[in-house]
Structure 1
Amino acid sequence: MLRDFGKLIELAKKLARTILLRERIDEVDTSEELNQDERDYIMQKLAEPSHWLERSRLKKEVDETHAREWERLRANTVADSKLRYLKIMVKVAAIFIGIAVCTYFFSSGNFTEEGTGALPEQESITLELENGAVEKLSKSDNRLFKNSKGNVVGMQKFDQLDYTQAEERSSSSDSDKKPMGYHKLTVPYGKTFQLVLSDGTRVHLNAGTSLKYPVRFIKDKNREVFMEGEAFFDVQKNKEQPFIVNSGSLGVQVLGTQFVISSYPEDAFINTVLLEGSVGLYKNKGSQKKDKERYTMLEPGFMGAWNKEEENIAVTEVDTDIYTAWTKGRMVFSHMKFEDIIKKLARCYNVSITNNNVELGEETFTATFDIKIESMEDILESFKRNYGFDYDIENDKINIY
């Protein structure tokens, strides 16, 4: 447990400043108040999108009578005359947040007697190893992963797993003929994570995504991975070994290029957006032999949308920045239906959203949000100003009327 109640209050005050003065959570220095384990765990929890909703609710309680002033704050313009007011509000907010943080940490038992605690399973990034063991990953970790022989196959440094620096293996040609060992990285809603495969290919996994991949690619065989969710791929070029992404009923084959695949089970389409290079899309029948004549080729700046029900591909020209914004901490919607927008928001903020307003669901919106500083409630309020509706928030559940 935390040894000093005063430390938690000080941390709560700093958290209040991140809400009211828009200081980034990772810029708040807690080195003097907490030991390493406590600091890593608490700062990780407070920075998670899944906890922004509760922080937003507390902010609303504190500031419900000053809505207009907060609109000015949203534009990041704080007049000198408001600074004294903000300092007072920081102290008030700290009381509310301190109570909430104390209640969370002390009553939920997230810390063991030694001062460390395991993250709830449903909120953890996990790595399934070759032997089936599952490891929970924290973005504050630096660790090594080994195979059954004790050789290092992967290294984690904070929010990235790297398989390019594996220990030297046997030079025997037989080593290239052995079956590939696979790892499976799973990123829950509300988080993102990065991966560097053994060939140097970089993958940025979005919220609610899993990727199964070999710890090393075997010579003279296709580089093949399996994914569900959404990911940005920057594939290392290798003409001798095509890179293949299997995503449900769609296969994507490339030699070296940058592209995004979005393939969530609840979506009607699997979308592939090409930034550079070229990719071939095809119906994935599980066969190693692909009929190249059936490939749908994409050019940079185009998206191939695979209709799961009709099993066909439609190709359209798109603004690729819209589909890669999430890798930079932004959400961009362009003439998108509200019912599709809330799906993306639910994944990003790890909340449940129920829309009971049928007409609203069909409305289209164009908007850009910075998810690093804007809470779920901030975004709802923005939509509410453009289209009048009501909503209520209870824990991590949102109902729209």
Structure 2
Amino acid sequence: MKEKSNIYQYDIAALILAYLRNEIDDEGRSKLEAWLDESDSHKVLFARVQDEELQIKDIRKIVSYDADKAWTEVTRKVARRHRRKLGTVYRVAASVVVVLGVSLALWMSRDKKSENKVVEVAEVVKIVPGRPMATLTIASGAVYHLDSLDNVELASVFAANDGKEVVFTDLQRPDSLKEVRYNKIEIPRGGEYKITLGDGTHVYLNAQTELRFPESFANSDRRVVYLSGEAYFEVAKDAAKPFIVRCRDYDVKVLGTSFNVNDYEDEKDSKTTLASGKIEIDMNGRQTVLKPGQQAVIKAGRVDVKEVDVEVYTTWMKENFRFQSETMEEILKKLARWYNIDVIYMGETVKNYHFTGYLPRYANIADVLELLSLTTKIKFELKGKTVTVMEK
């Protein structure tokens, strides 16, 4: 029986390799799709082996116990040869990584009773990924739960809601209001929601986020909203009315553009990342202009601008989280908000392991933790809704 299991592992590895090389036939594709449908852990593994950066890191681990020294030697020798040789070297090494990685992951998924599991489940409690959840508090004080609310006509807007997104249509006309009153939408831990403001601006709200926005934009020369948490904005253009996002320590001013703001109270710094258009960071009267592909990091009263891979910071609302050399502490903060879990660290060292790659947003938490453990020297214990992080 054991021999048959090993054959199955290598068959799957071969199918994945054929897929990565665009050499898979229809029969192989059907087998691979059937394997992916068996469990979320298979999807997690498949996503991992498609990430080139993660493959390179695994190659470094395999070529020698002294990875840094070995990789330096390998790249030095390869550089002497024609560049086209590098593709062959990479494909061969990647094959080893895929075969070993698939075999290891399948072995671990079978060996759930092993004392050396990288994810120990000490107490079974259903932990689900985030889903659309939001509470709307309007200016009058009335509270609505959007995930269970149908369309509703409020004092100054009509809210068309489908349980995942709410679209506000402004019913007010200019000069019909003498003051700007604010509504508030709150996303709990384990939640997400999309909204379209009365001016046509689309906002994607992440878990543990609060957005305050005007009941109506009609009687104001600016569009000002207040954010705590994380949101991605696609701002409707209106040259006559600048759009301003107010955070704890600074404002983000735009006319029409797409950008992400991450400003959680429990984070050491705040990040604003520009996808398109042009924005201005206003902090204590000092202005900093961002161009597409730049990120402003606000920390300790300073604004530092750097070039970044925008997709890492602006695609969190899609199917996968993407991380680029982030610490385990940074990653687990995001997972804690999304899965509504608590995290305990057994020592400071485990917080500083780094991870680069993709993690599926809607997978089982145990599978996500297993993937993280496969790439580092840490393991996890899952008890109730608490994750304990420790060294292997």
TM-score range, shorter chain: 0.5 to 0.7
Q: What are the Cα deviations for residues 274-323 of structure 1, in whole angstroms up to 9, with x where unaligned?
A: 00111110126xxxxxx4xx21000000000111xx20100000001111
**CA distance change for structure 1 residues 394 and 298 in 2, over 3 Å: closer, same or farther?**
same
One-letter code aligned to 1:204: Y
The TM-score with structure 1 as length reference comes to 0.64
**CA distance change for structure 1 residues 395 and 376 in 2, over 3 Å: closer, same or farther?**
same
Matches within 5 A, 1:31-70: none
Deviation at 1:179, TM superposition (A): 1.2
1:157 maps to which residue? 162
Deviation at 1:22, TM superposition (A): 5.2
Matches within 5 A, 1:79-228: 125-138=134-147, 141-147=149-155, 152-164=157-169, 166-167=170-171, 169=172, 174-175=175-176, 177-228=177-228
| Alpha-carbon separation, structure 1, partners of 2:125 and 2:192 | 26
Deviation at 1:391, TM superposition (A): 2.4
Asked if the contact 1:153/1:215 (under 8 Å) is kept, the reply is no
Deviation at 1:145, TM superposition (A): 3.8
Asked if the contact 2:175/2:218 (under 8 Å) is kept, the reply is no
1:381 maps to which residue? 370
Which contiguous aligned blocks of 4+ residues in structure 1 show a shift greater than 4 angstroms? 18-23, 67-70, 72-75
Q: What secondary structure, in the 3-state scheme, does the structure 1 residue paired with 2:378 have?
A: coil
Deviation at 1:390, TM superposition (A): 3.4
Deviation at 1:20, TM superposition (A): 4.7
| Alpha-carbon separation, structure 2, partners of 1:362 and 1:258 | 32
One-letter code aligned to 1:131: S
| Alpha-carbon separation, structure 1, partners of 2:223 and 2:365 | 39
Deviation at 1:215, TM superposition (A): 2.2
Which protein has greater RCO, CA pairs closer than 8 Å, 6+ apart? 2
One-letter code aligned to 1:398: V
For these two proteins, the number of residue pairs brought into alignment is: 279
Q: What secondary structure, in the 3-state scheme, does the structure 2 residue paired with 1:328 have?
A: coil
Q: Does 1:301 align with 2:293?
A: yes
1:47 maps to which residue? none
| Alpha-carbon separation, structure 2, partners of 1:22 and 1:386 | 18
| Alpha-carbon separation, structure 2, partners of 1:245 and 1:261 | 9
Asked if the contact 1:224/1:245 (under 8 Å) is kept, the reply is yes
> Which runs of no fewer than 5 residues in structure 1 stay unpaired?
1-17, 24-66, 76-98, 105-122, 285-290
Q: What secondary structure, in the 3-state scheme, does the structure 2 residue paired with 1:295 have?
A: strand
Asked if the contact 2:211/2:226 (under 8 Å) is kept, the reply is yes
| Alpha-carbon separation, structure 2, partners of 1:193 and 1:312 | 31
Deviation at 1:152, TM superposition (A): 4.5
| Alpha-carbon separation, structure 2, partners of 1:187 and 1:325 | 18
Deviation at 1:330, TM superposition (A): 1.2
Deviation at 1:355, TM superposition (A): 1.6
| Alpha-carbon separation, structure 2, partners of 1:316 and 1:207 | 26
RMSD: 3.0
The TM-score with structure 2 as length reference comes to 0.65
Matches within 5 A, 1:259-274: 259-274=259-274
**CA distance change for structure 1 residues 127 and 72 in 2, over 3 Å: closer, same or farther?**
same
Q: What secondary structure, in the 3-state scheme, does the structure 2 residue paired with 1:327 have?
A: coil
2:105 maps to which residue? 71
